[in-house]
Structures are given as structure tokens and as C-alpha cells.
Amino acid sequence: MTSLGIYLRGMLMGAADIVPGVSGGTMAFITGIYDTLLTSIRSVDLEFVRLVLKLDVRGAWEHINGGFLLALLAGIVTSIATLARLISWLLEYHPVPLWAFFFGLILASALVLLRQVRGWNPARGLCLLAGVSVAATIALAPVVNMHFGLAGVFLSGFLAICAMILPGISGSFILVLLGMYGTVLAAVNSFDLVFLAVLAAGAIAGLLCFSRLLHFLLHRFHEGTMALLTGFLFGSLLVVWPWKQVLAWVAGSHGQLKPAQQLPVGPVEFTALTGEPAQVPLCLGLMLLGFFLVWVINVRWGDPAT
């Protein structure tokens, strides 16, 4: 796997992470680096600490596959830095066509994962249904209140990072559901060091714990876990469905209202509820474009050797 190939995969992950409801883990999965990513993260262990304390920098770097993580992180940062403004502008002024494009991306991603599950049986079918149910429940869930001190901040970071490495579930979307989205944005803008340190500690703890769990499941129960993750993707289609009715709102960092709970509706009902055009032909075209791009990405970069 070349550094350029890893960097480009990182850019795809960064582009996905910018969007509320879309997970960078999805892109890691369809481009063939998900298992390598989990293995590298879980390598931050006691052996890594021992090597660092011995000042064996090279050994520590090789232990965690540092070259892979650095190239991937560089791609993620590049993508976020270059695409954040564009995606934010599109979400603000052209949300329906943008969500239609993402719907095509996620649908194709789910089908790519579905093809990777071998030997379907009732147990794996139940895993698929369980994934769909969990993701759909999260997508349709009302906001909960996590404002109970620094313990709530730590738990929010823990849960959000776990969701971020799961295909189909966005960490930022989890923060919205926990009622912490606006609070986190405000802390970032005000540079609240205590808040951010506790949030980061929760995220690091979640990343180290959850990556180990996923790595274990993928190696011990690979087909069942793949079916479960595929179900997450299919269930998350409710998040990126372009036509929605907003049931609840949450305040952003500047006091602006952002959707916190939404219900998918049809194009005609969407127009009746909002007075905005459904733009069905454009949305269908963008769905097909997103679908096509994922298949191209999977064919071109789905092989980890690229």
C-alpha cells in the first residue's frame, strides 16, 4: 500500500467526516483499509508505552504503523481544510441535492459491504437486521440530555469517537443526539481548555477500547460482524434521506438552530411541509452520481495494495 494511496483514502475519510450523518469509517471500509486502521489504533498499547519510555522512537513508530497513520491523518486534515467551507455552504444553501448525493454514496457503500458477507445463514441475517435497527433507532431518536458535568463531557467524547469509526454512523451526529453538539462547538470557538481536554480524554479512551473490540469481532466473527456493519449502513440511509421533516432543533455555536431530530418524508410531503421545491430530477441524478463514484472508488482503491 503506497503512501499516496493511503493519503487519498484519508482525503475520502476527511470529506465524509465533514458531513453530519456520514462516517469516515464508511470510506475506510470501502477502500480496503478498515482492518489496517483498527490494527494500527489498537497497537497503541503497553508495549508502545514501554518503547516510548525507553526512547526507542523508531521501534514505537513501527509498532503502531506510524507511516500509515501519518499519511492517513495528513489526508484527513487536507480534506477537512479544503472542503469544510464548501460542504458547509452546500449544507446551508443546497441541502436537499447534497443529501441526495450522500444517499447515493451510502447506498452503494452498503451494497459493497453486502457483497463481502459470505455464506449467509439465519444468524448473519439477524446481525444484518440488528445493525439496521440500531442505526435506524439512532437516526430517529430524540435528543437526550448529557449536560451533567465533566462526566457527561467525557462520555460524549467516548461515544462520539466510537460512532466515528463505525461505518455509517457519524460522531458529530451522535453529539447532536446527546444534546452536546452546540456545547462542543461553543467550547471549540471559546477554546475552553478544560472542556476540550476532558472531551479529548473520552475520545482517546473510546478509540482505544472500541478499536480493540471491533478488531476482535472482525477476526473472531468476521462474517457476522460484516453483516452487522452492513446493517448499520443500510439503517443510516434514514439520516441522509434528502427529504425530511424536522421534529426538534438544537442550538449551534452562534445560537443558530440546527435539526436535532428528523423524520424522512416523501418529496411531495416535503414540499407541502416546507414550501421548498423537492428538486426530484436533480436529486435522482445526484443519487446515481454518488452511487457510481463509490463503485469507481471501490474498483480503483478497494484493493489495499494500491
Report DSSP letters for the chain, one per residue: --HHHHHHHHHHHHHHHHSTT--HHHHHHHTT-HHHHHHHHHT-SHHHHHHHHTT-HHHHHHHTTHHHHHHHHHHHHHHHHHHHHHHHHHHHH-HHHHHHHHHHHHHHHHHHHHHH--S--HHHHHHHHHHHHHHHHHHHPPP----SSHHHHHHHHHHHHHHHTSTT--HHHHHHHTT-HHHHHHHHHHT-HHHHHHHHHHHHHHHHHHHHHHHHHHHHSHHHHHHHHHHHHHHHHHHH-SSEEEEEEEE-TTS-EEEEEEEE--HHHHHHHH-S---HHHHHHHHHHHHHHHHHHHHHH-STT-
Q: To the nearest whole percent, how much of the chain has pLDDT over 70?
A: 84
Write out pLDDT tens, residues 211-232. Answer: 888 888 888 998 998 899 889 8
Q: What is the pLDDT of residue 270?
A: 94
Write out pLDDT tens, residues 14-69. Answer: 877 776 556 788 788 778 788 889 889 889 888 998 999 999 999 999 999 999 99
Whole-number Å distance between alpha carbons of 8 and 87: 18
The larger pLDDT score, comparing residue 170 to residue 101, is at 101
Which distant-in-sequence residues (6+ apart) come within 8 Å of 24 by Cβ?
12, 13, 14, 16, 17, 76, 164, 165
Is the confidence at residue 159, as pLDDT, over 90? no
Write out pLDDT tens, residues 251-293. Answer: 655 556 666 678 899 999 999 998 999 999 999 999 999 899 8
* Short-list 184, 138, 194, CA closest to 157: 184
Please say whether the beta carbons of 279 and 93 come within 8 A.
no
Whole-number Å distance between alpha carbons of 218 and 224: 8
Q: What is the dihedral of CA 101, 22, 32, 78, to 10 degrees?
A: 90
